[in-house]
A and B are shown apart, each in its own frame.
Chain A
Amino acid sequence: MNGMDRFSKFLDKAKRADLRDKQMFSFVVREGLALTGMSVREAAELFRTAPGTVSRWENGYTAPALIAREAVRDLLVARVSRIEASLAVTA
């Protein structure tokens, strides 16, 4: 899979994700952080939580309230979309 495919696949999957599924939320966080290059610490500041909590999310141990899962997903989708758009311009 080339780099652009990975971005597109993430965006497609994240937007349609059933976030009631904790493992799906875990995927969104894990892949979202990988694609944005954000550290757990940076993500914690963005999501107003502790880095330890973000590490629990990305490893599938816990997930926040559903309304917060959606907010986390939306923030990651927005960031990944911006990176994808900038990559498309430079490609």
Chain B
Amino acid sequence: MPLSAARLSPSANIATVDASRLDFTLAKASDAQAIFDLVYLHPDPFLRAVKLEDVENWIAHGACWIVRDSTNKIVGACNIRVPETTADSAPEPAEFGGIFLLPNYRERGVADALAVLALASYYWDNDPEDLNPIPVISHVHIKNDKPLKLLDRIGFIFQREISVPDGVPGFEHMPREEDGRLLGKEFLLPAERRIQLFREMAKLISTREIGTYAISVLPALGMIPEELERLATHLEMKRSG
């Protein structure tokens, strides 16, 4: 079929519209298998080996944000682990687990949007007006350069080198140093980065688009653009003065 005919075909038009629609939301327990399939579609030597039950734990014990296409298929996921706490144990930092995205959706702003949604929602829910909120960190294998560009774009900064203790499951296959140590880099998201995150989140909710995609977003409870902008301005003023 010539291209012009395809453009005029009603079914082709529907397909075009469908392909440009994405829905961002929080994963539920029933999404675990689809997320597991997405994560392990492309084997990565630097990816921690996990089982389906580990992905179920991401959802049960963390905040796993996902993006679906118009057929309801999960095409992207982003996990933030927030360790549970008790009255006697001070909260630990949250951990940004990276972005998993089907190849067709890469380099189109979808990964950045998922990161903004996950991180802005985390900070919205955890002392958004506080100058020193409980931070978000991220860990990367020392030789893994692939996620560095994304981490840099989001605003993470290198903090320190870490050594993974022996015996932690899921790391057995990863490249090690000559002396047998497994090294990684720890990155930290500075608190002032929330100013941009809240503004970018407000833009996502209000414009409902990323590049050529029309999007719908079900963000953190109560999140609205006006309040995000007020928080960003508030943090800006607190920082400067």
Report whether chain A binds chain B.
Answer: yes
**What is A's interface to B at a CB cutoff of 8 Å?**
40-41, 45, 47-53, 55-56, 59-65, 67-68, 70-72
Tell yes or no: B109 within 8 A of A by CB. no
- Cross-chain contact B28 with A62 (CB below 8 angstroms): no
6 sampled A-B residue pairs with Cβ under 8 A:
A48-B221, A49-B125, A52-B83, A56-B82, A60-B87, A62-B125
Please name all residues of chain B whose beta carbon is closer than 8 Å to the beta carbon of A53 when the two chains form the complex.
63, 82, 122, 125-126
Tell yes or no: B96 within 8 A of A by CB. no
Give bound CA distance, A59 to B88, whole Å. Answer: 9
Please name all residues of chain A whose beta carbon is closer than 8 Å to the beta carbon of B62 when the two chains form the complex.
50-52
Tell yes or no: B35 within 8 A of A by CB. no
Instruction: Pick the contact of B85: A49, A59, A64 (CB < 8 A).
Output: A59
Give bound CA distance, A41 to B121, whole Å. Answer: 17
Total residues of chain B contacting the partner, CB 8 A: 36
Chain B's nearest CB lies how many Å from the CB of A42?
11
Tell yes or no: B41 within 8 A of A by CB. no
Instruction: Pick the contact of A63: B61, B90, B127 (CB < 8 A).
Output: B127
Please name all residues of chain A whose beta carbon is closer than 8 Å to the beta carbon of B223 when the two chains form the complex.
65, 67-68
Tell yes or no: B60 within 8 A of A by CB. yes
- Nearest-CB residue, chain A, relative to B133: A62
